Amino acid sequence: MDKGSGAAGGAAVRPRPGPEGLPQLEQARGQLRLLPPDQRPGWRIGPQLRGQSGRHRQALHRDERGWPLLYNDDTNKPKREESVQLLFKGIVQHYCLANGVRVDREVYLGKGPVDFAFTKSAFERGLLEIKKMTNTDYWNGLEKQLTSYLTSDQCSFGWFLAVRYDDKAVSVSRTNDLPKRTASAAKETGFDLRAEWIDARRKASASNL
């Protein structure tokens, strides 16, 4: 977790509740968890999280020439997921600060750390998980990890961001199946789940055409 991300640029940071207020806060969040997803206050952060994801996708899309940032200069091989996460944070954190949204990376929830947690208030919160399409835990990241983190955090909104580097059969299949698998996981769990993918495939230089 980046402890300093919420205070960069001189932006005001909402004070966290003291120890004496935590039981009441958790009780209130537990009660909200019983409501349908679209009736929980936390759903309002969804459009902002979608906007942040869209900015990241647009900046890195191969038509915007941002895709080379996802490759190592020395080997020309795709960078690790950690590098993708750091690049994502660099793109969206200033937008988050300007809109009063705190962004934390590697937040431990339940069985492990979720890639990002976005918080606007005690009840407006969303979680985001990033996976390369070549990752063997790709579907597990959407259907098991993200939903587990949402359950542990008593949060209703989750976002899954996939990164596609090639046109191999597995990537094509995972791209095509992403909307259906996301909708199925949302229906099964009751969470508001959304997913998008970033086109990080190499594009031939105009000078080489």
Spans of all domains in the chain = 38-202
pLDDT value for 183? 97
Q: Of 40, 199, 28, 185, which Cα lies nearest the Cα of 126?
A: 40
**Mind listing the pLDDT tens digit for each residue in 109-132?**
888 999 999 998 877 889 999 999
Q: With beta carbons less than 8 A apart as the criterion, state whether 103 and 93 touch.
A: yes
Between 199 and 65, name the one with better pLDDT: 199
pLDDT surpassing 80 at residue 7: no
pLDDT surpassing 80 at residue 209: no
Least confident of 17-31, 82-96, 195-209: 17-31
Q: With beta carbons less than 8 A apart as the criterion, state whether 193 and 161 touch.
A: no
Q: Which H or E run contains 179?
A: helix 169-189
Least confident of 54-58, 153-157, 203-207: 54-58
pLDDT value for 201? 87
At residue 164's C-alpha, the angle toward residues 187 and 91, to 5°, is: 90
pLDDT surpassing 90 at residue 189: yes
**In terms of pTM, does the model score above 0.75?**
no
Task: Confirm or reject CATH 3.40.1350 for domain 38-202, answering yes or no.
Answer: yes
Q: Calculate mean pLDDT across residues 13-39.
A: 45
| Distance between start and end Cα atoms, the chain | 44
Mean pLDDT, the chain, integer: 76
Least confident of 60-64, 107-111, 180-184: 60-64
